[in-house]
Each structure stands twice: as C-alpha cells, then as structure tokens.
Structure 1
Amino acid sequence: MNDNGNPHLPVSMTDGSTRSWSTGKWKMPISIFFRDARLVFKTDALGMEILQIAIPAAMALAADPIASLIDTAFIGRLGPVELAAVGVSIAIFNQASKITIFPLVSITTSFVAEEETVGRLGSEPNDDVKVVKEPTKNNELEEAVPDDVGLEKLENGAGVSRERKDPIQDDDSNTAMLVAPVVVDVGSKSNKEKRHIPSASTALVIGGILGILQTLFLVFGAKILLGFMGVKSGSPMLNPAKKYLELRALGAPAVLLSLAMQGVFRGFKDTKTPLYATVLGDLTNIILDPILIFSCHLGVSGAAIAHVLSQYLISLILLLGLMKQVNLLPPSMKELQFRRFLKNGVLLLARVIAVTFCVTLAASMAARLGSTPMAAFQICLQVWMTSSLLADGLAVAGQAILASAFAEKDYSKATAAASRVLQMGFVLGLGLAVVVGVGLRFGSGVFSKDDNVQNIIFIGIPVMPS
C-alpha cells in the first residue's frame, strides 16, 4: 500500500511520470516484458549488479554439466552400451535430485537475501538514538538528536557526539552544565563478527536429511528404478547402469549440501565463492576420470567415483567458506524454519516434478529403443542442459535482487529488475539456440565416433535449439 492506503505501488518511469502496478491480484501487465527494452544492453547500476551476480552464477551452474559432458566423452570411449547405461543412471539421479534441489536452493536464496537485507537495515541507525540525560541542581535536562541529523552523523561515522555551543546556566549559580547528547549506533558490529542467519542453518539441516534419504532410495531401489526406465534383466546395460547409479548415489548428501550452501552465498549476492569451489571440484573430476576409468580399469565405476569425490570436495570448500561468515549452529532448535521452508516449497516442488517428469519419460522411451538411440539422447540431453543452465545465472541474479528490493520496500527497483532480467534472458536464449545448433552439427564427434549415434544426433538438431 502507498501512503494513502491504496494497494497500488507507484513505479517511476523514465520520463519522470509514475505508473501504479496493482499488487492485490499479484499480476503484472504484459508490458513488463517491453518496459525500457532499449536498456537491455546498458551497463548502468542495475545492469552491472545483474551481471556481477549472473556471470559467476552461470559459470558455476554450467561447470558441473560441462564436467558431465567430459564424463560422457570419456565413457563414450568405452562403447555405446556403457554410454547408454550411464545415461539412464544419470537421468534417474537427476530426477531424484532436482525434485529436492530446485525448491531448496530457490527458497534458501530468497530467504537468506531477505534476512540479510532486513538485518542490514536493522543495524543501520534509524530510531535507535538514545537520549542522554545530564542532571543539574534543580532539574534534569534531556535532549535527543533528531532522526535525520542522527542518521546523517552515523553515515559519516558511528558514535559521533554533538555538543551545544551555548552552555545552559543554572539560575542559582554561574556554573555551566554542558549537555552532550550522544548518538549510539546500537546496531554497529565488527565486520569480522559472524552473521546469524536462521534460514542458512535450516537449509543445511534439510539438505543433509534429504541427501541421506536420496542415497538410501537410490541404492536400495536401483534395480527397480532401472527396470522402470526400460532396462530389463536381460539388457546388457543393466550391470553397468546399476553400478554407476549405486556409486553415484553415495554423493547425494554432498550434492544437496553443496547446493544448499550455494543458495546461502547467492542470498548474500556472492556467486564467486561457489564458482571457485565448483571449478576446483570439477577440475578434480576431470583429472580423476581418465585415471580411474582407463588406468585403474574401473570403467563406469571409476567415472562415478571421480564424480562423487569431486562433489565432497566442493561441499568441503563451501562449508569452510561459509563457517567464516555465518554461525551455522542456531542458539536453539526453535529458530530453525522447517515450517516456513515446507510451506513455500510445495508449489516449487510440484513445478519441478512436472518438468523433470517429461525429461525422465523421454529418457525411458529412448532406453526402450536400444543402446544406440539412448546414447544419442544422452549426448543431446547433456548439451541441452549445459546451455539451458547458462540462463539460470540470470534467474539467480533476479531472485537475489528482487528479494532484497522487496525487503527494502523498493518496488521501483523490483519492477525494473524483473523487466531487465526477462529481456536479457530472451536475448541470451536466441544466442544459445544458434550456438547449440551449430556446435552439435560440427562437434558431435567429440562425444561418440559411432556413425549411427551421430546420425540420430543430427536428426534432433532442429528440435534442440528451440
């Protein structure tokens, strides 16, 4: 509501006029897609803030699929059967992971950004100005610094005191009592002091629990799940697929915890720390792949072990970095926000199930066609996922900026950020369509030398970029 109680939010336009967006129905007009479209490439303050968050986030998000592409290239050297088997296992693992990962990371990012902004605003002096009383012989004089003056002083430095130029004379004495009201920055803290973010602790607890449950589910249900995907008992894909899935499942707790911590860092608008951790972990995976797959003759098991070790390394790096900034242990269990996470995660969970179900169904149908179509499908899927995740960097930036803007009640910035992110996403999508189409046409041989596999990939090229 505005000052008059009207449930409309005034938004400043570029021509100086204002426009009211209705929030009562939680709907935005279609013109939001075209608002200030000419600024889509402008590197103003908002554009730079989006890019500074989005670029490292996109690189971090793309790092794991790129590592998976390299996995696919190494496994493809073992043969189409092994490649198809790993493709089925990865589809199952991704389906189980994404159901929990997307809601957890998205909610964590929003909640942490909101709590961090509210905490920062709460630490800034506003009404936290204390009144200092100095007694005189006959009465008590008190004076408080006005809010606007106190805030101006605190912006220049906390703990500033102001003295009156005219001393106050007592009626019965020539002694002057100097009244010195002191502005106290109640919220000022040491920069080295750790922050207490309840949603961060909650996210780690939920991530750990979900990771353990996912491991148990995939290990003990591997054969049943593979059968559901079309890998029957007599299939040559069954044994390598089962080995890969069971070993890969051991890394589920690390995957959930690392992504929960990435959500915390994103809430802080820090996407560089997750990038460094992810790149280091994926480089470890790439180095271990040929050693374990070929030198140690472990085959698909070696690929799974390399991936699991890299995920635990990423989790360890992020945990050490997070412990320097946040008190991860809450004062009491009551501060954990399980109900809040569950309440806001239901709709996101339904969305993710619907999206990943389509991908899993497609993988199941490809597996039923045989190892060659499944191998081609796995290559196309990995390329598509890698390119699509680049756009998620913009989503991360938009999410963090919007959460902070709403916490600050800066609705004009929220509207501008939403418009800019949508427009940048559209432009990025057009560019990725061209890159994916051309790249697959001339680079599919990197993933498989089988002519039949490449022919099926060429058939899917017109569909994938769209």
Structure 2
Amino acid sequence: MGKELSSTMIRSGVLPLWKNMGNSPIWGLFKSPRGIFKKDELGLEIGQIALPAALALTADPIASLVDTAFIGHIGPVELAAVGVAIAIINQASKVAIFPLVSVTTSFVAEEDAKGSSRAEYRETEMAEKQSASDNEKEQLMPKMEMTGGMATKRHISSASSALIIGGALGLIQAVILICTAKPLLSYMGVKSDSPMLKPAVRYLTVRSLGAPAVLLSLAMQGVFRGFKDTKTPLYATMVGDVANIILDPIFIFLFGLGVSGAAIAHVLSQYLISLILMWRLMEQVNLLPPTIEDLQLSRFLRNGLLLLFRVIAATFCVTLAASLAAKLGSTSMAAFQICLQVWLATSLLADGLAVAGQAILANAFARNDYEKVMATASRVLQLSLALGLILCIVVAIILQFSSRLFTDDINVLRLLQLGIPFVAVTQPINSLAFVFDGLNYGASDFTYSAYSMVLIAVFTIICLFLLYSSNAFVGIWLALSIFMSLRAVAGFLRIGTRTGPWSFLRG
C-alpha cells in the first residue's frame, strides 16, 4: 500500500524524479520548480503542518524580541546583560530541547504510522468477513462505552517516554543554571566588576525556574508534531506569548522589577503553555503504557545522545559568538543581541517546513513509501529556498527602518548597520540548512547529523577566533555565516552521495 502513488502526485511530475536522477539527485530535487506552490495533495499536507509550526516556532523568539525592546528602553547595560543570560539559557535549553523534540517527533510519527497500518489492515480484514452477526456487533457497543471513550485514545508509548524524559531534564536544567549562574556568566565574559553582572544574574536565575515547563511543553509539541498536528502547539504558544507580552510592561515598569520582571513574565507564560498542552494531550493519548518496556527509554536515550552531541556542537558556536561579542563591551553585545534575535526569529520560519518534512518523511519511511519521501524532500527544499529569498528582502528593509524600536543608543545603532547585511543575506542559506536538518531527522539519520555537525563546529570555532581577532564584530557575523553555509552543504552531500537512508536512490 505504501508504494502506491496517488494520482495527484503522479500528475505533479515530482515523484518519478528519483528514478530518473542519473548522477545528480540534488539537481532532481530542484527540478520542476513551477509546481512549488501547487495546491495538490502533498502541497496541502505540507502547508497544514508547516504554517502552524512556523508560527509556533517564531512566537517565542518574537516574545523575546518584545522582551528585548522593553529592556532596551531600561538601558544598554541591562539589554546587554539580558543578551548574555539569554545566550546561556538558549545553550542549556537546546542541549535538551532539540534531541528530545526531534527524536519524539520521528518516533511518534513512526509508531502512529505503524499503528494506522495495522488498524487499516484489521478494518479490511473485518470488511471481508461476513460471518459477524448483528448480535456480536451490538455486544461490542457497550464495551466501547464502558471504557469511557478510552478506545478512541491513541496508545503511543513514545509520548509517555518523551514526557518522563522532558520533565526530568527540565528539573535538572533548572537546578544547574541556578547553582552555576555566576560561573557561567563569567565564562561568557561578564566578570565580577562588570555592570552587567547583577542584572544578568537576576534574569538568568528567575528564567531558570521555568525550565521544567519549557522542556515538558516542548516534549508535548514533539508528540503533536508526530501526529502531524501543529495547530494545537500554535494555539497554546500564542496564548502563552500574548500573556507574556501583556505581563512584561506590568512587571518591568508598573511593579518596577526591571529585568527580573521580564523573566517572571516569561516563566508564567511557559507554565501556561505547558498546562494547555497537557490538557489537550490527555484527551488524545493514553499516557499510561501497559509495561515499562513499552516506554522504549533506551532507544530514546541512544538516539537522543547522538543529537545531544550535535546540538552541543551547534549551540556552542552561537554561544561562543555571543561570548566574543560580550568581550567587546556592552555596546557590541547589545547590537549582537538585537541582530541575533532577529536572525533566529526569521530563520525559524523555515523550521516550520523542516517540521513538516520530518513528520511526513518519518511516516513515509515507516511505510516504505519512497516516492512520497522524494516528493516531500523536493517540495520542502524548493519552498525553503523561495522563503529564504523573500526573507532576505523583508529583513533588510524592516531592520533598516525599525532599529530604533530596540534602542536609542547611537553607538549600538551604528554597529547594527554592520550586522544587518549578514542577517539578511544568510536567510536563504539558513532556510536550506534547517530544512535539511528536518529531512535527516525524518529519515532517522541521527548519526550523520551528529558527526557532520561536530566537524562543522570545529571548523567554525577556528573561524570565529581568527575572524574575531582581525575583524571584531563583523568577523563574528562572518564566521556565523560560514557556519550556516557548511550546514547546508552537509545536507546536500548526504542526499547527493546516496548514502545512509538515501541509499534507495541508487536503484
């Protein structure tokens, strides 16, 4: 069944490409660009997953941008302090978040696809059997009612595993960040005599209290993504972030709590998101697995460990860049923080396509539907390139005319003019890099993702130190541009060499 082609997909002219790619599978992926925005079966499926996912992913960075805007009007020192603290929080969170969410999405999608296949087989078998009497059918109805609707719930052991691991990691992260706040800030270049130290410690300590909610909610987002449901996480995230935006000025200015107020508002919003997602998930999934073995904790941990190394390598590069910016002073750090938040917020739009690609590919690989694998890969890559080009223009225009929304400091504004070209020009590269990550995760190609990122990180770290010493602020952004370019190249190479899960292209 998995290898049957829908008539819609055949007419699109995309699916047969992988059999006729010759020696250039990458070229095949970008063929027939005229159908890139076509509203066929595949296009609608990608859109229904990608758009809500992109909005949900960008909601939190946008909320951080609002935090940045509010704090920027307190003063450049506070803005720089919060920038350093957020860099540490992002590093700590991504170390746990991305392995957890990515593994959860793939495993839940695979488990759900296999469960659906078994259910379809049973339905077909029952339809062919005419021996069942009306009496037996009537006897089944009370049993369904006695379960209190439990029969309609999914039994996905990966969901239970994700919640257990996410909750535990959140508690561990909170304890570590609170206990090591000053040493971490010192490592980031904020020394004991720096005016940034006190506001940075306050913000970092309070924000750390929200770590359990953040990791638990993101684990649940991974479950919903595996079900190809990105609307529920979007609604929950929007409610939480609107609450954050409303509470920010209240805690920061009305209560006079400054940077601590911004952190409190953020923490409260994260717990609200977590509660909404838990309520919705309990309606759809039976979170109590039959046995401990069904949790598949060892499989989670094994693949999660691979992605852990990958994420540490990737986020270390960004964290090192923030550390180098902090060493240049509060002015450079403030400008870097604004550029970085815009860079991440816009680039994560492409991550919505990555989520769609991962969820659809994981489901297709579980069904051995290689035609849909290549159709999906081709479409999301083409869409990511188009999105990147659009973002390049939009970011350049918006940042050029809205810089004063973040700060009134003349020196910070001057450095912003140097960072804007890098933020804008790298958008197409970032989009491709994020989508290739999603394709690798959908193919459960966690080993390649981990090893390739470690090699890229080593080269990027060397570039950071060399370019920082010679070009200061501009050198940091040049090194980050090289970093994202190498990530995109690594994705091209995996499919282009027809290795790993893409070995079916040789046939």
TM-score (norm 1): 0.83
2:98 maps to what in 1? Answer: 102
Amino acid at match of 1:223: K
Deviations 1:34-66 (A, max 9, x none): 243221111111011101100000000010011
Distance 1:73 1:17 in 2: 46
Contact 1:21-1:28 within 8 A present in 2 as well: no
Deviation of 1:409 (Å): 2.0
Matched residue SS, 1:440? helix
Q: Distance in 1 between matches of 2:15 and 2:78?
A: 63
Query: Would you tell me which structure has more helix in proportion to its own residues?
Result: 2
**Using a 3 Å threshold, how does the CA distance of structure 1 residues 116 and 232 change in structure 2: closer, same or farther?**
same
Q: Cα distance, 1:127 vs. partner? A: 8.9
CA 1:17–1:280 in 2, change beyond 3 Å: closer, same or farther? closer
Corresponding residue for residue 111 of structure 2: 115
Letter in 1 for 2:232: T
- Shift of residue 357 of structure 1? 1.1
Query: Following TM superposition, by how much is the alpha carbon of 1:274 offset from its aligned partner in structure 2, in angstroms?
Result: 0.4
SS at match of 1:112: helix
Does 2:383 align with 1:414? no
Give the aligned partner of residue 49 of structure 1.
Answer: 45
What SS does the aligned partner of 2:152 have?
Answer: coil
The one-letter code of the counterpart of 1:44 is D
* 2:387 corresponding residue in structure 1: 428
The answer to whether the 8 A contact 1:445-1:454 is kept is: yes
Number of matched residues?
Answer: 411
Q: Do 2:53 and 2:230's aligned partners in 1 also have CA atoms closer than 8 Å?
A: yes
Return closer, same or farther for 1:192/1:285 CA change in 2, 3 Å cut-off: farther
Indicate the SS of the match to 1:464: helix
Question: 5+ unaligned residues in a row in structure 2: which ranges?
Answer: 4-8, 427-507
Shift in alpha-carbon separation, 1:191–1:31, aligned structure 2, 3 A: farther
- Structure 2 matches for 1:43-442, cutoff 5 A? 43-126=39-122, 129=125, 150=128, 161=130, 193-442=152-401
Residue 302 of structure 1, CA deviation: 0.4
* Other structure's SS at 1:461 match: helix
How many Å separate the matches in 1 of 2:32 and 2:342?
A: 33
Counterpart of 1:50 in structure 2: which amino acid? I
Asked if residue 452 in structure 1 is aligned to residue 415 in structure 2, the reply is: no
CA distance in 2, matches of 1:290, 1:388: 27
Corresponding residue SS for 2:63: helix
Contact 1:161 1:183 in 2 (8 A): no
Task: Pick closer, same or farther for the CA change 1:119–1:450 going to 2, 3 Å.
Answer: same
Closer/same/farther in 2, CA of residues 15 and 392 from structure 1, 3 Å limit: closer
Query: Is the contact made by 1:114 and 1:404 (CA closer than 8 Å) also made in structure 2?
Result: yes
Aligned to 1:154: none
Q: Which residue of 1 aligns with 2:460?
A: none
Distance 2:406 2:123 in 1: 63
Q: Distance in 1 between matches of 2:220 and 2:13?
A: 42
Letter aligned with residue 103 of structure 1: P
Question: Cα 1:289–1:305, aligned 2, differ >3 Å: closer, same or farther?
Answer: same
Counterpart for residue 445 of structure 2 = none
Post-superposition shift, 1:21? 5.7
Structure that is richer in strand per residue:
1
Hey, what's the Cα distance between the residues in 1 that align with 2:122 and 2:210?
47
Distance between the aligned counterparts of 2:30 and 2:97, measured in 1? 32
CA shift for structure 1 position 33: 2.6
Question: CA shift at 1:192, angstroms?
Answer: 6.1
Quote the Cα distance in structure 1 between the aligned partners of 2:262 and 2:131.
68
* 2:171 and 2:211 in contact (8 A); partners too: yes
What SS does the aligned partner of 1:448 have?
coil
Deviations 1:397-425 (A, max 9, x none): 00111111112221111110011011111
Asked if structure 2 preserves the Cα contact closer than 8 Å seen for 1:13 and 1:19, the reply is no
Partners in 2 of 1:223 and 1:16 — Cα distance?
54
**Alpha-carbon separation, structure 1, partners of 2:24 and 2:379:** 14
* 1:103 CA drift (Å): 1.1
Q: Distance in 2 between matches of 1:379 and 1:447?
A: 7
Could you tell me which amino acid in structure 1 is paired with residue 412 of structure 2? Answer: V
* Distance in 2 (alpha carbons) for counterparts of 1:13 and 1:97: 44
Q: CA RMSD in A?
A: 2.9
TM-score by length of 2: 0.76
1:129 CA displacement: 4.0
**What CA distance in whole angstroms lies between the structure 2 residues aligned with 1:129 and 1:337?**
30
AA partner of residue 130 (structure 2)? S
Matched, 1:38 2:7: no
What are the superposed Cα offsets for residues 190-240 of structure 1, whole Å, 9 maximum, x if unpaired?
796211100000000010111111111100010000000000000000000
- Structure 1 residue 263: deviation in Å? 0.5
Helix, strand or coil at the partner of 2:422: coil
Larger-Rg structure:
1
In terms of mean alpha carbon deviation, does 327-336 or 12-21 score higher? 12-21
Displacement, 1:264? 0.4
